[in-house]
Structure 1
Amino acid sequence: MIRLENLTKVFDTPKGAVVAADHINMEVPSGEICILLGPSGCGKTTTLKMINRIIRPTSGKVFIDNQDTTSLDTQTLRRNIGYVIQQIGLFPNMTIEENITIVPRLLGWNAKKYKERARELMHMIALEPDAFLKRYPSELSGGQQQRIGVARALAADPPVMLMDEPFGAIDPINRAVIQDEFIKMQKELKKTIMFVSHDIDEAIKMGDRIAIFRDGHLVQYATPDELLAAPQDNFVESFLGEDRALKRLNLIKVQDVINSEVETVTQQDSMETALSRIDRSGYQHAIIMVNEQRQPTGIIPRSVAQVSKGRCHDHAQQVPAIVNINDDLRKAVSLMLANDITWLPCVDDNNQLCGHITQRAMTHHLGARFRAQSGNTAPTAPLTEE
């Protein structure tokens, strides 16, 4: 949807020519979010602003949906690109409705259509239309204003959106909420988005692809997982941080690492049955007890099964923690650390047991990419330890 060919910007200064962006080549597939990342002054914002001609390129081309944008006049180009900035840029003398609908009105939409669009977008950004549309920007919090800025950029349903640190000025709690809302919206809307950020965690959370810039050059362009697993050089590696392996926890779902072959007992099974299944499976610590709906209701520790008689429901202990298969590994690790355990039962959205995940399995999964990169593919021990 977006293609940059040798896009270059040279600024003339009293001290001579400064190359802000040097022959940038990249493609952003339709429906994906591309994060432009790098230190201040690296060329990422300049590159973004050349796409809608806020900054005119010195040379090179921008293609949107295979159309060379040099064939479009600037007004037409900008009206077909949604644009969101950190400072939000709402017009203080206009109501929220007027702010959201400014581009549709410029495009000649009739009043019924653009008013319906405003209400639709307010629902999308989780703000009640009747409570907010007639207000002015000064009557809203910073986080609410930022949401309105996003809604305004979406108003004319543009295929492409440019976002210049749109959540950077918001406090961490509201920023996380808005990021989550935006990701939810993007799953439905599937816009093609280029997004400037300084925050590596934001880039990993939101980006389908990440472009790392340095001194006007595009250093590496890859998916978040590829970037974290195989940084191209020392600059990228240091920029990502020494905890880049831990950052990958955000990208991997529990269902990618789950062991679905899990032994269980029912509430009416005997403790002898529990011990034999623990031994048969090779579990070190405990076995999961489930009800008739196969929902985990307790655990039988090995130490208890070895000395107790009777039914499982008489001796079961509370399940320390449970993780959903759609959660990421970061949550799984957090639960393990908080409860001082090395494994977790995994459930689906109906709370039915799907399997279990172990600390060792996660370590193995994360390390596989690094081993492949280094050429070390030696087999490891079976992952039976709980």
Structure 2
Amino acid sequence: MIRLDNLTKVFDTPKGAVVAADHINMEVPTGEICILLGPSGCGKTTTLKMINRIVRPTSGKVFIDDEDTSSLDTQTLRRNIGYVIQQIGLFPNMTIEENITIVPKLLGWDKAKYKERARELMRMIALEPDAFLKRYPSELSGGQQQRIGVARALAADPPVMLMDEPFGAIDPINRAVIQDEFLKMQQELKKTIMFVSHDIDEAIKMGDRIAIFRDGHLVQYATPDTLLAAPKDSFVESFLGEDRALKRLNLINVREVVSTNFETVSPRDSLESALQTLDKCGYQHAIVMVNEERQPVGIIPRAVAQVSKGSCHDYAQKVPAVVNVNDDLRKAVSLMLAHDITWLPCVDDEGRLCGHITQRAMTHHLGARFRTQQATAELADPMAEE
């Protein structure tokens, strides 16, 4: 959907020419989010702004859906690209409804259509239309204003969106909420998005692909997993941080690691039968007790089953924690550390037990995935053998 072909920007300064973006070549597939990442002054924002011609390229081309945008006039180009900035940029003298509908009005939409579009978008960003549409930006919190900025960018249903550190000015708690809401919207909308960030954790969470810039050059362009497993050089490695292996936990869902080959006991079972099941399955620590709905309602530790007599119901201990199969491994590790355990029951969205996950399984999975990503990166890099 977005293709940059040798895109270059040279600024003339009193001290001479400064190359802000040097022959940038990259493609963003339809429906994906690409994060532009790098230190200040690396060229990521300049590259973004050349796409909608806020900064005019010195040379090179921008293609959107295979169309050379240099053939389009600037107004037409910009009206077909959603744009969100950190400063939000809402018009203070306009209501929220007027802010959201400004581009549809310019495009000649019917009044009833753009008003309904505003209400639809307000519901999408979890703000009640009747409560907010007639307000002015000054009456909203910073986080609410940022959501309106996103809604305005989506108003004319553009295929492409550009976002310049859109959540950077929001406090961490609201930023995480807005990021999650935006990703939920993206699952439905499938926009093609280029997104400037300075936050590696945000990039890993939000991006399908990440482009690392340095001194106007595109150093590496890859999926988050490949980037973390196989950084191209020492600069990328240092930029990602020494904890890059831990960052990969955010990219893997529990369902990729969960073991579905498991045994349980019921409240009616005897401790003797629980111990026999523990031995048969090779469980070292405990077995999960489930109710008739297959929900985990307790655990029977091996130590209890070995020395006690009676039913599981009478001796079951509280389940220390469970993890949803749709959660990422970072949450699983956090729960294990918090409760000083090495395994967790895994449940589905209805709370039914569907397996368990262990520290050892996560370690093996990460190691295998690491080796695969490194091998793939080496095959894709013609300089790898040299």
| CA–CA separation in structure 2 for the residues paired with 1:36 and 1:159 | 19
Shift in Å at residue 281 of structure 1?
Answer: 1.2
**Counterpart residue type for residue 267 of structure 1:** P
| CA–CA separation in structure 2 for the residues paired with 1:180 and 1:292 | 34
Q: In the alignment, which residue of structure 1 is the partner of 2:47? A: 47
Q: In the alignment, which residue of structure 2 is the partner of 1:281? A: 281
Shift in Å at residue 374 of structure 1?
Answer: 6.5
Contact kept? 2:226, 2:374, Cα under 8 Å: no
| CA–CA separation in structure 2 for the residues paired with 1:201 and 1:95 | 34
Q: In the alignment, which residue of structure 1 is the partner of 2:380? A: none
Q: In the alignment, which residue of structure 2 is the partner of 1:350? A: 350
| CA–CA separation in structure 1 for the residues paired with 2:119 and 2:360 | 49
The C-alpha deviation readout for 1:278-328, integer Å capped at 9, x for no partner, is 111111110111112221111110001111112111111111111110011
Q: In the alignment, which residue of structure 2 is the partner of 1:309? A: 309
Q: Any unmatched runs of 5+ in structure 2?
A: 376-386
Find the residue that maps to 1:344 and give its secondary structure.
Answer: strand
| CA–CA separation in structure 1 for the residues paired with 2:367 and 2:290 | 32
TM-score for the superposition, normalised by structure 2: 0.96
Q: In the alignment, which residue of structure 2 is the partner of 1:83? A: 83
| CA–CA separation in structure 2 for the residues paired with 1:129 and 1:148 | 11
Q: How does 1:127-206 map to 2 (within 5 A)?
A: 127-206=127-206
| CA–CA separation in structure 2 for the residues paired with 1:161 and 1:371 | 34
**Counterpart residue type for residue 140 of structure 2:** L
| CA–CA separation in structure 2 for the residues paired with 1:138 and 1:251 | 38
Q: How does 1:366-381 map to 2 (within 5 A)?
A: 366-372=366-372
| CA–CA separation in structure 1 for the residues paired with 2:243 and 2:334 | 15
Find the residue that maps to 1:306 and give its secondary structure.
Answer: helix
Find the residue that maps to 1:262 and give its secondary structure.
Answer: coil
Shift in Å at residue 350 of structure 1?
Answer: 1.4
Tell me if 1:60 matches 2:55. no
| CA–CA separation in structure 2 for the residues paired with 1:79 and 1:189 | 18
**Counterpart residue type for residue 304 of structure 2:** V
Q: In the alignment, which residue of structure 2 is the partner of 1:233? A: 233
Contact kept? 2:229, 2:374, Cα under 8 Å: no
Shift in Å at residue 263 of structure 1?
Answer: 1.5
Shift in Å at residue 371 of structure 1?
Answer: 3.6
Q: In the alignment, which residue of structure 2 is the partner of 1:384? A: none
The C-alpha deviation readout for 1:45-82, integer Å capped at 9, x for no partner, is 00000000000101111000010101111100000000
**Counterpart residue type for residue 235 of structure 2:** F
| CA–CA separation in structure 1 for the residues paired with 2:14 and 2:313 | 81
Shift in Å at residue 372 of structure 1?
Answer: 4.2
Tell me if 1:2 matches 2:6. no
The C-alpha deviation readout for 1:312-358, integer Å capped at 9, x for no partner, is 11111111111110011111111111111000000111111111000
Q: In the alignment, which residue of structure 1 is the partner of 2:320? A: 320
Equivalences, count: 375
- Cα RMSD (Å): 1.0
Shift in Å at residue 369 of structure 1?
Answer: 3.0
TM-score for the superposition, normalised by structure 1: 0.96
Q: In the alignment, which residue of structure 1 is the partner of 2:224? A: 224
Q: Any unmatched runs of 5+ in structure 1?
A: 376-386
Q: In the alignment, which residue of structure 1 is the partner of 2:378? A: none
Q: In the alignment, which residue of structure 2 is the partner of 1:73? A: 73
The C-alpha deviation readout for 1:91-129, integer Å capped at 9, x for no partner, is 111111111000000001111111111111111111111
| CA–CA separation in structure 2 for the residues paired with 1:222 and 1:374 | 12
| CA–CA separation in structure 2 for the residues paired with 1:218 and 1:351 | 45
The C-alpha deviation readout for 1:28-58, integer Å capped at 9, x for no partner, is 0000000000000000000000000000101
Q: In the alignment, which residue of structure 1 is the partner of 2:23? A: 23
Contact kept? 2:228, 2:244, Cα under 8 Å: yes
| CA–CA separation in structure 1 for the residues paired with 2:225 and 2:356 | 24
The C-alpha deviation readout for 1:251-273, integer Å capped at 9, x for no partner, is 10000000100111111111111
| CA–CA separation in structure 1 for the residues paired with 2:310 and 2:84 | 65
Contact kept? 2:278, 2:286, Cα under 8 Å: yes
| CA–CA separation in structure 2 for the residues paired with 1:321 and 1:242 | 29
